[in-house]
Every structure is written in C-alpha cells, then in structure tokens.
Amino acid sequence: MGTRNRENREKRKAKQQAREARARAQADHTGKAGDTGKAGDTGKAGDTGPTGGPASPAGPASPAGPAGRIDQEHDHRTMLRETADLMIAEALNAHVNGLTAAAAAQVRNLAGSSGHQVVNQALTGWLERTVSTAWRRGWQPADLHRFASREVGSRSARMAIDIVAAMMRGYDAATVDERWDAQLQALDATVWWGDDELLDAWGTHEGRGRAEVIHDAIELIVLIHGLPAIQMLGPLPGAARRGARGPVGDPRVLDRVRALLAKAESTTFAEEAEALTTKAQQLMARYSIDDALLAARESSASASASAHEPGASRIGIGNPYEEPKAILLNVIAEANRCRSIWVRNLGFMTVIGYPRDLEAVELLYTSLLVQATAAVTRAGGRQDRYGRSRTRAFRKSFLISFATRIGERLATATEQAGADAAAASGDSRLLPALAARNDGVREAAERMFPEVVAKTVNAADVEGGVLGRAAANLASLSVRDEVADASANTNTGA
C-alpha cells in the first residue's frame, strides 16, 4: 500500500514539473515573438527578416505585432474563401441532384454571408474555371451563348458572355484567333462594368437581387459543366497566331454582300427576286472557283497556306421547325462544296469546307432563312375540313419544299458557273483543283464525324409542299452576284 502511494506521488510530481517547463518555454516564446530582427537575423520564431515577409510562429502562441495581424487576416480570408467554396459546391450538388429546397437554402446562405466580396470572388472563380474547361472541350463563345439561350434563357447567356469578356482581358490580342475575335465582336463581349465588381454590376444592370444573382451563377455553372466535348474548330486563346489562316475574303466584298442581303430580304417584288436568283449563285460559285485556282497556282507554302485547307464553322439550328432549317442549311452547303452535320441535341450544324465557301454558306443561309420565314408567314394558317388547325404541318411542309427547291436551284447554278469558268479560263488545273477540294472536304468531314446517320424528311402537307416550292422559285440568291461582282472589281483594281 505504501509503495503504491509513493509511486503516485512521484507521478504527480513529474507531471507538475512538465507543466512548469512548458509554461517557461511558452513565456520565453511570447517574449521573443514579434521582435524585429536585424539584417541577417533568421531562425527565430516570429522574426521579420530583411525582406519584410511575416514568418509563421513556431509555437502554439499567436504572434504579436503587425506581422501577426497580417497573418491572422490572411488566415481569416482563407477560411472565408474555403467556406464560400464549400457552400457553392453544396449548392451545385443540390442543383444537379434536383434538390430544389437544399439548393435554395445554400443560395440564401451565400446571399446572407458577411463575406460579400469573398463570395463574389469565389463564384467568379467557379464560372471562369467552368468556362475555361468548356473551351478545352471545343466550345467557342458563340456556342456557349447559343446553348445557354436555348436551355436557360437570354439572361444566363448574357452572364456567360460577360464572363468570357472578363477572361479575355488576360490574353494578348495577337494570340486570339480571328474567328474568336469575330464572335466576340458579334456578341458585344466587352468589359462594360469597368473597375466595378462583375457580379454586383451585373445584378444592378439586370435588375436582379443578391440571391437571384447567385442563383443565376449557380445555374450557369451547372449548365456549362455538363457540356460534352465537341470538335475543336480552332486554336484556343493564347495559342493562336494572327494571320496564320491567311486572308478570308475581301472586306469590301462582304460589306457589299451584307448590304445586298438587306435589300433582298426586304423586297416585296417577286419578279425582282426571281431575276436575281440564278445569276447570283453562279457568280458566288465563280468567287469560290477563283479561290481554288489561286490555291492551285501557289507552288510553295506560305503564311496563307492554311486558308487553302478545309475548315469548319458551327451554325445554330433552333425551333420552331428545326428539321426544315437543317435541310435548308444542308442544301446550301452542298451547293457550295461543303459538308454539313446536324448535332440535333445541341442545337447546331457543323459545316466543313474552305473559308470562302463557308462564308457563302453562312451568308446565304441567313438571307434565305429570312426569306423563307417571311414567305411562310404571308401564307398564313390552315385548317382541316373539321375546323382543326393544321398550321404546323402546313408550315413544316412549306419550309421543307422551300429548302428542297432552293437546293435544286443552287446546284444548277453552281454547275453552270463551273462550266463557264472552265471555258473562260482555259486553265487545265481547274477541274483537278475542284476535285481535290471536294476530296479534301469529304476527308475532313469523315475525320471529324466518323459515324454519321443520314435522315430523310418528307413534306406531309401537300398544299404546304406546293406553296413552298413556289416560294423557293421566287427567293433571291443574289448574294453570289454581289460577291462575284465585287471580287471582279477588286481583281481589276476597281
């Protein structure tokens, strides 16, 4: 019994001595922490060296002085950012899993957080990382804008483009591909908010409250994060080299084409539109033929060599009547020596071809879609004999027949242009050059889309089909006329 008591006393004494030793060590550390050492003094906990950087404390006590306060503030900001990131991640997971109440609760928590700017920075970081990932998956600014508009509305599409504009500030203009730059200009992707914080300025501009802005950002992150990989159609920002693609058409030509398209779309005289039709496609085809001959005559590689290789572009195909629109774009592409692939679930068609042919396809499609829409609207609605509406079937058949007839007219005009060019030029390289281009486009399309399913769509409404063909006969294809005339003037120095 006495032995056990003695052992217990010795243990208590040892513990007391250990506590006293720790207290002395802590007191010594507290006295040294926060001292400003002289140049060359290193190794002491809490010292500020000659570079002025605060050192981390070596013991459990908090450092005193300015260095300690800076360190504490940094730790506090880090903790707030980590907390915000965690709350955002939980909101995203709840949104993805359809847990509406849980997602809304996290949005309210984020909106009510005392770290307002920290939450904004965290959300902006999530948005930029998500958009950057989408770029690496092949999505360009126009693709993101189009898909966001289709899936969640124009407001989210505007947020997506504002995030893109903010990100583009980090790239030298010389390293941004011309096609990206054209898309950014068309979408008016500019830093309109100046030095203000983006999400705060965006909420004011859109008339959205704090929680609504956070909800919009969460919704956009989820949407873009779920995008699949698609074909990469050009270099990413930072990796492009201006001029590598060479010239893609004379700006004067394109300006005159756009002016002509506006006239063609607004004319109310069927005879005027009909008179322009065949010649227009022939001359735009000649514009393409001249480009093919130029490429054939270049015997050595140059900075513009890539302009003589197939490229690709994406054009949106949206509701209503997406099938007739896809048919219209397809026949225009075929008539201009291009291939088109419809990715229906993502709402676009990829057109593969040479640069000037791609320009012709996009300009003609834009104009003819306007003309087709105007024609089908003028045709009005229809009812069956029981008084039930058959307007949708009528209009779908109308547009399908319109597209089919347009394709026939374009193909005929292109063939005629080729024959005329061969007779006029007397250049034996023309036909081989055109054949080589057709092969190049076909091979590029097969590489990009190794598995393609063809689909046939028929006009089910007889009346709509008949009227659609009649409207196609009157449609203006005058874009090729203006392009060719302008091209000829340019070549002759006019």
Average pLDDT of adjacent 10-residue blocks, the chain of 494 residues: 54 55 46 40 38 39 52 72 92 94 94 91 96 97 95 96 96 93 94 92 96 97 96 93 59 55 62 55 63 62 57 92 93 93 93 90 86 83 83 88 88 82 75 86 92 61 54 55 47 41
Q: In what order do the strands lie in the sheet with 311-316?
A: 311-316, 348-353, 339-343
Angle, helices 65-96 vs 210-225, to 10°: value is 70
Question: How confident is the model at residue 484, as a pLDDT?
Answer: 46
Cβ-proximal residues to 83 (8 Å cutoff; 6+ apart), any chain: 115
Question: How confident is the model at residue 346, as a pLDDT?
Answer: 93
Instruction: Report strand pairing: 339-343 vs 311-316.
Output: unpaired
Q: Is 61 exposed, middle or buried (0-12, 13-18, 19+ CB in 10 A)?
A: middle
* 3-state SS, residue 349: strand
Q: Tell me the H-state helices in 169-305.
A: 178-186, 198-206, 210-225, 251-266, 270-297
> What does the alpha-carbon distance between residue 139 and residue 314 come to, in Å, rounded to a whole number?
10
Q: Is 232 exposed, middle or buried (0-12, 13-18, 19+ CB in 10 A)?
A: middle
Question: How confident is the model at residue 286, as a pLDDT?
Answer: 62
> What does the alpha-carbon distance between residue 472 and residue 402 come to, in Å, rounded to a whole number?
5
CA atoms in the 13 A half-sphere facing the CB of 222: 20
Q: Is 0.85 surpassed by the pTM of this model?
A: no
Question: How confident is the model at residue 385, as a pLDDT?
Answer: 81
> What does the alpha-carbon distance between residue 377 and residue 371 come to, in Å, rounded to a whole number?
10
Question: How confident is the model at residue 433, as a pLDDT?
Answer: 83
Question: How confident is the model at residue 57, as a pLDDT?
Answer: 37
